[in-house]
Amino acid sequence: MEQFFLTLLFLFASFLTLSLFFFFSLHGSKYSLPNLPPGKIGLPFIGETLRFFSTGRKGHPEKFIFDRIKKYSSHVLKTNLLGEPIAVFCGAASHKFLFSNENKNVISWWPDSVYKIFPSSRQTSSKDEAKKMRFKILPQFLKPEALQRYISIMDHMAQRHFTDDWENKIEILVFSLTKKYTFLLACRLFLSIDDPYHVARLLGPFHCVASGIISMPIDFPGTKFNRAIKAANFIRIEVIKIIRQRKFDLAEGKASPTQDISSHMLLTSDENGEFMNEMDIADKIIGLLVGGHDTASATCTFIVKFLAELPHVYHKVFEEQMEITKSKCEGELLNWDDIQNVSVHLLATCMISFRLIKN
């Protein structure tokens, strides 16, 4: 009897070994064609995600890419991250190719995991969505004439933010505070939410969505990805409530068509005269919040960092800001002319910060 079980166990182990061998062989053979860039796909589904996260936890996420550039002597690489096989383009020439061929040789694409967080995005192609947002909706909302209306709002919110969160504090954690400020500002400009308690109610779930998008797409209770889906559902319900109220206010003349981006989306139709539904608008707004949040926060943080490290630049910027302050009456907010007088030193600092983030 014992010999029978040992034989059965040996056969099972042999079958499992052969199955795994063929599985890994098939997995690797799909991505070993001669016209693909060099690199490794790693384990099935997991790929090289664990190694990528490991370098990130150590504070050097770029090391994952730099090590592979050195190993394969190429600025175009293949790998597998977050359950998706991808090609990585590095260097100025690669970036020029990507950004000069949008909607030509390169189109926008999202992994399946994103559609679980933003389900309405399945209704149209990523290419159509990107073109609609970039060329029809956002330009009208972000053109210079429109931006002039938001300067005083930004100034007022910045003053309130500094008073509440920066003044008389022993220690300042700039990145976390700038993330709070940019989220407050986005909620005001996108949804006209002024109530700080309402914003605070959305902030925690929003952070879950932002971190869950770049996590392993394992939809299992307790995982980051699962929490991101639940958080997105919560935010979506809240945003849809605001959109429905905005519809009513627009119909009653209590809201302006240019009040915020939600009003603009409600009143903008496509070439067939069709308007976006509530869920689609909600997902677009959540996507804008996620897409612009970390980048803007990181830029502001780098500006503070470089101004602290470059005192000669800081003093020039400070002098110019004081000149603007002296020209204002007490309680008067910034306007478009004040923004035009921003120092070339501050602009240079902004450019350095932005380039570091993009690279």
SS (H, E, C) 165-230: HCCCCCCCCHHHHHHHHHHHHHHHHHHCCCCHHHHHHHHHHHHHHHHHHCCCCCCCCCCHHHHHHH
Q: Is 135 left (phi over 0), alpha (psi -120 to 50) or beta?
A: alpha
Instruction: With H, G, I as helix, E, B as strand and everything else as coil, classify residue 76.
Output: strand
Identify which of 350, 358, 339, 347 has the alpha carbon closest to the alpha carbon of residue 158: 339
- pLDDT in single tens digits along all 359 residues of the chain: 555 455 555 444 444 444 444 444 444 455 666 678 888 887 777 788 888 888 888 888 889 989 999 998 898 998 888 778 888 898 888 888 888 887 788 877 777 778 788 876 655 555 555 555 555 566 666 666 777 778 888 888 888 888 888 888 888 898 889 888 888 888 888 888 888 888 888 888 888 888 888 777 888 888 888 999 999 999 999 999 999 999 888 888 888 877 888 888 888 777 777 788 888 888 888 888 887 677 888 888 888 888 888 888 888 888 888 888 888 888 888 888 777 766 554 555 554 444 444 44
Q: Could you tell me if 268 and 128 lie in one domain?
A: yes
- Residue 272 in any domain: the answer is yes
| Rounded distance between C-alpha atoms, residue 68 and residue 165, angstroms | 42
Q: Could you tell me if 145 and 273 lie in one domain?
A: yes
* Structural contact between residues 357 and 295, judged by C-beta atoms closer than 8 angstroms: yes
Helices (H), the chain: 2-29, 49-57, 62-72, 91-100, 112-117, 126-132, 138-142, 144-165, 174-191, 196-213, 224-252, 261-267, 278-309, 311-326, 336-340, 344-358
* Structural contact between residues 44 and 19, judged by C-beta atoms closer than 8 angstroms: no
Q: Could you tell me if 100 and 133 lie in one domain?
A: no
End position of a domain, from candidates 47, 71, 106? 106
End position of a domain, from candidates 106, 132, 162? 106
CATH code of residue 239: 1.10.630.10
Q: Could you tell me if 181 and 60 lie in one domain?
A: no
How many Cβ atoms from other residues are within 10 Å of residue 238's Cβ? Answer: 17
Domain range for residue 277? 120-358
- Give CA separation, 82 vs 27, 345, 358, in Å: 16, 40, 21
- Residue 346 in any domain: the answer is yes
- Mention every residue, 6+ apart, whose C-beta is less than 8 A from residue 354: 299
End position of a domain, from candidates 106, 128, 160? 106
